[in-house]
Amino acid sequence: MGEYADAAAQARRRYVLIALVFFGTVLSYVDRQVLALLKPTLEATFHWSDEDFAHLGSAFSLAMASSVLFSGWLVDRFGVRIAYGWAVAVWSLAGMAHTAAATVTQFVMARVTLALGESVSGPATVKATAQYLPLRERSFGLGVIATAPSIGAILTPLVIPVVAVTFGWKSAFLLTGGLGVIWVAFWLLGTRHLHSTAAATSGDAKAGVDWEALFTDRRTWAITGSKALADMVWWFLLFWIPDLFSKVFGLTQTEIGGPVALTYAMAALGALASGGLFPALLRRGLSVNAARKSSMLLFSVLILALPLALHVGSAWTAAAIIGVALFAHNGFVTNIFGLTADIVPLQRVGTVTALSSVAGNLSGMAMIEFAGWSLTNGHGYWPMFAVASVAYLAATLLLHLVVPRIELVHA
């Protein structure tokens, strides 16, 4: 009876962990999207050009890419609880610091600090699911957590423009940063008694990283390359979608929220679909290898229609097409996270996740800068949409070539 009660208590603590990581991830995407949604207001206030705005986005991506590998080591070395708690505190205060900025340089400094904190989020999420969730719960946990960026991206365009118009643009940064500070208190209380599960059978979770083994492991580069190809699309869309609806469809600051929210509502469904698709394929008798790769191929095909969004007459139709692409992206990336948790030794999970995030941020920075150049020189959005439509098929092919057969390291 005592063992049953203890098991039930641990299950409740795991659900609390999923909820806290979910809300932490929501806050990270709210904080990073505020700037994009306030672009028209800040552009008019500070007289920015499209290239100035692109530089802000690429500075964030560069800072993430520069720090996330170190962040992954921090998570592996000090554990999820300490590393993630400090990270959210840092990025929340950095978000509030935007209110003191008056020049592009000062905004860049605030964005860079924000990125330093948020670089911990990805490694901490995958490490937490690998260490604290058993295999039967891992896909569900990752699927739920993977909806968080979309939920954040849905809430932000619905709330932030209204707050900014009503109380001024600075209030938007203060609101989102303040919520992060509150989250830290709940995190410290809610994770006090959490214990590792049988998922942590591949070594000491805080053991030092064997760098030679990491860099010579084909699994590391399969995950990193696939994530780079997928993330360049995500960062491009996350940063430029509000501007696309403004430029291509002539929507105002307050009209942008609805279509943007629709795209990210569909993205959230993609994460949930992925969380259920992989276990469903396993139940139908497919191997882990076939289930993972079939899932990724399906989502890759769905995104092929993305360029059609530039050839429709309605912003809402375009939002639906982009929403399908984001649905596919979240489904695809959730599989990458699940793959990482399944096949990478636990003591390297945070670092491998971080390395893949470095690659994703660098490719995202390149796409953001490419978009700024393309728009400034009159080429529009079509070059980026063409690249994005085939990126996921390329990522799936890369994974298959580098890791022909997926085998579990820990269950």
Q: What is the CATH number of the domain that holds 251?
A: 1.20.1250.20
Q: Which residues contact 157 (CB under 8 A, 6 or more apart)?
A: 33, 37, 242, 256, 257, 258, 260, 261
Question: Residue 7 — pLDDT band, cuts 50, 70, 90?
Answer: low
Full domain range(s) for residue 140: 2-402
Asked if the structure places residue 408 within a domain, the reply is: no
What integer pLDDT is reported at residue 55 of this predicted model? 79
Q: Is 344 left (phi over 0), alpha (psi -120 to 50) or beta?
A: beta
Say if residues 102 and 50 touch (Cβ distance below 8 Å). no
In tens, the pLDDT along 132-167 reads 777 667 767 777 887 787 778 778 877 888 888 889
Q: Higher model confidence: residue 379 or residue 202?
A: 379
Q: Is 407 a member of any domain?
A: no
Helix axes 121-132, 135-146, angle to 10 degrees: 150
What whole-number distance in Å separates Cα of residue 165 and Cα of residue 171? 10
Question: Which are the contacts of 382, defined by CB distance < 8 A and separation ≥ 6?
Answer: 307, 310
| Cα 278 to Cα 294: distance, rounded to the nearest angstrom | 9
pLDDT-based confidence at residue 197 (cuts at 50, 70, 90): low
Q: Is residue 410 part of a domain?
A: no
In a domain, 27, yes or no: yes
Q: Using DSSP, state whether 285 is helix, strand or coil.
A: coil
Domains contained in the chain, number = 1
309 domain-assigned: yes
Asked, for residue 16, whether it belongs to a domain, the answer is yes
Quick check: is 409 in a domain? Answer: no
Distance between CA 316 and CA 309 in Å, rounded? 10
